[in-house]
Structure 1
Amino acid sequence: RGFAPNGAANWSAGFLPASNQGTMIRPNSKTPISNLFPPENDFVTRNSDRDVLQALKQLNQQHQQTRAGDSRLNARIQSYELAAKMQLQAPEVLDLSGETKSTLQRYGLDFVDFEVQEGISEAAEIAYFGRNCLVARRMLEQGVRFVQIWSGADNGHPRRNWDSHEDIKRDHWPLGRGMSIGASALIKDLKQRGMLDDTIILWTTEFGRMPCSQGSKGRDHNPFVFTNWLAGGGIKGGTTYGESDQWSFKPADPANPTMCYDVHATILHQLGIDHEKLTYRHNGIDRRLTDVHGHVIENILS
């Protein structure tokens, strides 16, 4: 439905080496992975492709010798090597033709009972997010260790997303249907296949919406409280933690709020990592993924 707000920075490597950044895949596009295969022509052959890659490797090595400490070129080399592997495996992962009819139905890929709300097809939104979730499951099956699924951006309508300042019902209704169907299908599918016990699912956002209206039908940003949820990977189901006030405006206990750092520390704990000990040296500083904050939320662990 469009590029995520803030673009590729959302899956950048931050202070880690550039090779740790994510690779964008568009399961709903005719070319889910850009430039994975060359365009149709009569002059690119296997031999010429091999020769070009060999020449490129030599040029990259020469370039890297004069730029010690710059991780970007090494990241690009690794990306090309990854692309070569993806040419063999990615088409199979992205091909949903082998999925059963019941699985496709569960993810909403054959949804036909819908209504169009001011140009937004609810069925299209359900199928869009459902396909992303199904491809995510197939990637996890192939050993991909981290998958990020996006919802919300729309190039045609900049405000037709979760950041709805104008009309909450118009914007959130189709997004909410797609999200609920796709996310629930992913959880059920992982559980059915015995993958949920060692897969952590985190649903989150960057901020909430105010409890009061903006204008007539919209809502402004709420940076004080918002909802996220966790499932699988040793997380205790049916548990809530981190109470807001009665208006869902600010934390019930402002002196002891639950922070994003706490969620990150908890996920790292479930992965067997002590967030206070894991550091990466960057610009002369030992960086932690939770900065100098974060506590494991023991109450939500099974």
Structure 2
Amino acid sequence: MRCNQFTRVVSRRQMLGASGCGIGQVALAALLGQHTRAESDPRRHSTLAPKPLHFPARARRIIFLFMWGGPSHVDLFDPKPRLKTESGKPLSGKSVGSDRDDLGELLDSPFRFARHGESGLWISELFPHLARHADRLCVINSMHTEGSAHGEALLRLHTGQANLVRPSVGSWVSYGLGCENEDLPAFITISPPRGHGGVQNYGNAFLPAVHQGTAIGSAEIPISESKVSNLANSQLNPGEQREQLDLIQSLNAHHLREATVDPQIEGLIASYELAFRMQSTMPRIMSLDDESKSTLDLYGIGSEPTDNFGRQCLLARKFSELGVRYIQVSTNYTWDHHQKVHEGHVAESAKVDRPIAGLLGDLAQRGLLEDTLVLWGAEFGRTPMAENGDGRNHHPGAFTMWMAGGGVRGGLAYGKTDDFGYAPVENPVHMHDLHATLLHALGLDHERLTYRHAGRDFRLTDVHGNVVREILA
């Protein structure tokens, strides 16, 4: 074509090529402009951005499988032959280091134990699926804590303290590590308990709001019917919501400029932005339509009694794949067997055994178990003595928790209790020690991970805790 006498003849191909370059330059300039504006926009400085570690980590995330109510260690992972030979006899306190003369009548475990794997770990017949992963498990039989009531013990498990409102373990992990996915929170709790501390068990306390756990449903609601509260807005479309949020965020940004530094306002800004983005990401993740039938079968989804906990465990795997740092999966308040411990443990173990084994196998197959630390346990264990004839009472003095993956030694039984499972007698591990070890596996020094509040530095382990290095690979 010819524009005028001074212009050369330009072919159609040359014109389109030149125009294409121009369009590309315009697009690049626009993107650079957006990046520059983003850098100056306080909304984009997310407090959930990944943070440097204190030292190299073996784990990048934690999945905590919480058995609400307190499973019996002497019926699941800590066999005691003397319970069988002395069942029905009174247990003298002096024989187990207690000041009480008579602690009650001993109750034999009705379940058979066997050694499993090359390591020969003892596991009850109630966990046949999990037993196939024995060489992946690091079983701590010498756990102990304070608090014989569920409320106190749950708070100590989840926050390290029971007398003051403190940040939960997941919130500390979120604060210390940030998140690897800007469209998801760093801490998600699936079917959390409403009782025994409720939201404190996944609360942020004085940490910025963005570090509070995002709850999906609650323990008593089937996960298939659960959702993230207030995620959808039925009255405004996304564009209108964005306009509304921009107005709110402009006010927040104004307050932040005046304050210069305010972690609470920064956390609020980040929380609002994250919640807006989650509207499009969470529904897709919550759906299991993208999973194969073989995967669903692996977790026991679609059959009873494993369907509900299987769905929870599969969601935990999906969130771990997408960069969430701390994921808790909770059962309902169904492990508290003050009577009929036999019937109760049979029923509850059947719900979780296959899903847990499926989770470990699925993580391993996908190469995720190497840097995912799976933790199983509860607020305390049960007494070796009988209560109400065929039940067991709360027992914070000795119980079992186990870990897998994430840099722990598989096929290891660590610590011992006495001949009746009443008290630790070798390598005791306190709840503060457990918390220190979890943070260490993530590359965080529990003494350095602090937050300034009310004039002093706080930490998850307060002034306690020692890393249990013997269980680390």
What is the TM-score normalised by the length of structure 2?
Answer: 0.54
Residues 15-62 of structure 1: CA deviation (Å, up to 9, x unaligned):
5333211000137143511221123xxx63344323322333345456
Which of 17, 20, 24 is 2:208 aligned to? 17
- 2:286 is matched with 94
- 1:188 is matched with 361
Residue 208 (str. 1) matches residue 381 (str. 2):
yes
Task: Pick the structure with greater CA Rg.
Answer: 2
Residue 282 (str. 1) matches residue 473 (str. 2):
no
Name the CA distance, whole Å, in 2 between partners of 1:72 and 1:205. 32
Name the CA distance, whole Å, in 1 between partners of 2:403 and 2:348. 19
> Number of residues paired by the alignment?
278
Name the CA distance, whole Å, in 1 between partners of 2:457 and 2:463. 11
Richer in strand (by share): 2
- 1:117 is matched with none
- 1:240 is matched with 413
For residue 201 of structure 1, give the secondary structure of its aligned residue in structure 2: strand
Residues 257-296 of structure 1: CA deviation (Å, up to 9, x unaligned):
2211222222222222222333222222222322222222
Which structure is higher in RCO with an 8 Å CA cutoff and minimum separation 6?
Answer: 2
* Correspondences of 1:78-227 after superposition (within 5 Å): 78-111=270-303, 123-124=304-305, 126-153=306-333, 161-227=334-400
Residue 34 (str. 1) matches residue 229 (str. 2):
yes
Name the CA distance, whole Å, in 1 between partners of 2:343 and 2:260. 53
- 1:266 is matched with 437
* Deviation at residue 182 of structure 1 after TM alignment: 1.4
- Gap change, CA 1:239 and 1:14, over 3 Å in 2: farther
Which of 215, 225, 228 is 2:401 aligned to? 228
Opposite residue 80 of structure 1, the aligned amino acid is Y
Opposite residue 36 of structure 1, the aligned amino acid is L
My pick for the range that moved more, 46-55 or 3-12, is 46-55
Structure 1 alignment gaps of length 5 or more: 112-122, 154-160
Name the CA distance, whole Å, in 2 between partners of 1:68 and 1:168. 58
- 1:158 is matched with none
Residue 249 (str. 1) matches residue 412 (str. 2):
no
Residue 297 (str. 1) matches residue 468 (str. 2):
yes
Q: Is the 8 A contact 1:262 1:295 kept in 2?
A: yes
For residue 375 of structure 2, give the secondary structure of its aligned residue in structure 1: strand
For residue 293 of structure 1, give the secondary structure of its aligned residue in structure 2: coil
Residues 138-185 of structure 1: CA deviation (Å, up to 9, x unaligned):
0111111111111123xxxxxxx1122233234332221222111111
- Gap change, CA 1:67 and 1:168, over 3 Å in 2: farther
For residue 240 of structure 1, give the secondary structure of its aligned residue in structure 2: strand
Residue 8 (str. 1) matches residue 199 (str. 2):
yes
Opposite residue 77 of structure 1, the aligned amino acid is I
Opposite residue 281 of structure 2, the aligned amino acid is Q
Structure 2 alignment gaps of length 5 or more: 1-190
Opposite residue 226 of structure 1, the aligned amino acid is F
For residue 187 of structure 1, give the secondary structure of its aligned residue in structure 2: helix
Q: Is the 8 A contact 1:16 1:280 kept in 2?
A: yes
Q: Is the 8 A contact 1:152 1:175 kept in 2?
A: no
Name the CA distance, whole Å, in 2 between partners of 1:188 and 1:274. 30
Name the CA distance, whole Å, in 2 between partners of 1:23 and 1:287. 23
For residue 252 of structure 1, give the secondary structure of its aligned residue in structure 2: strand
- Gap change, CA 1:56 and 1:274, over 3 Å in 2: closer
- Gap change, CA 1:50 and 1:20, over 3 Å in 2: closer
